[in-house]
Structure 1
């Protein structure tokens, strides 16, 4: 009788372990989907910000170019047009950031760094572990209890 009960308990335990594994896998998939959605929203906000900034900078660039051109013609000094060159580089960067392929080139470069330059990505003192975090937490608790005394 005990053997049958033990066999039944083992089967239930195995089913429960499979159920827990399935649940933890579902939870991990949901977390990954949530993190990806948050990343996409943040990137969309960055692109939207770049486009909004481009609107203001484009207006500034246009007014500045018009003013510098009129000033250069009025004073007959071509040197007054010099600021247009660096401003045009900034404008080109902003256009590329807002509507161009800058994000794609940046992503490709990041993938290249991740595959060929792993040493640049390592954290100081390595990846945090549960033990290192727990040790730090305990040290903080004991330090705060010393301060309270």
Structure 2
């Protein structure tokens, strides 16, 4: 009887461990797919924005030369920053730098990540549920 209970507990432990490993792998694959979609979106946006940037730069340069007003070139400056950021996000090292900074925050500034009023507990959820139930019952 004791042996049977022990085997059953071991089976339950291994089963829950396997389930947890599968959940972790699934969440990681979901995260990877979301990141891949974000990078793909950025690369696609870069194509359209690059075409807009090229057209705007040529038009503003031609307009500033024709009207002899160098101030017409000012919009090219912020557009250049946007173009470079999008390129860095889609094809550069921005994601690696962001990952490094995130790891640094986790290692050295973890207090910034604390939730207001602490971690949510079963008791806080139940308290909110009970107060909401009273609210709906009263109406």
Q: Structure 2 length as normaliser, TM-score? A: 0.95
- The number of equivalent residue pairs is 139
* CA distance in structure 1 between the aligned counterparts of 2:3 and 2:135, rounded to whole angstroms: 49
Quote how far apart the aligned CAs of 1:113 are.
0.5
Aligned twin of 2:137: 145
2:61 aligns with 69
Match among 74, 90, 93 for residue 101 of structure 1: 93
**Greater Cα radius of gyration, structure 1 or 2:** 1
| Other-structure match for 2:112 | 120
RMSD: 1.1
CA distance in 2, matches of 1:64, 1:17: 69
Extract structure 1 runs of 4+ deviating beyond 3 A.
Answer: none
> Per-residue CA shift, 1:104-125, capped at 9, x if unaligned?
0001000100111111100011
Q: Who is 2:78 aligned against?
A: 86
Q: Distance in 2 between matches of 1:15 and 1:141?
A: 43
What are the within-5 Å matches in structure 2 for residues 49-60 of structure 1? 49-60=41-52
1:13-62 per-position Cα deviation (integer Å, ceiling 9, x unaligned): 11111111001000100000000000001101110110111111101100
- 1:2-41 maps to which residues of 2 (within 5 A)? 9-41=1-33
Shift of 1:130: 2.0
Structure 2 gap segments, 5+ residues each:
none
Structure 2 counterpart SS, 1:126: coil
- Distance between the aligned counterparts of 2:126 and 2:3, measured in 1? 36
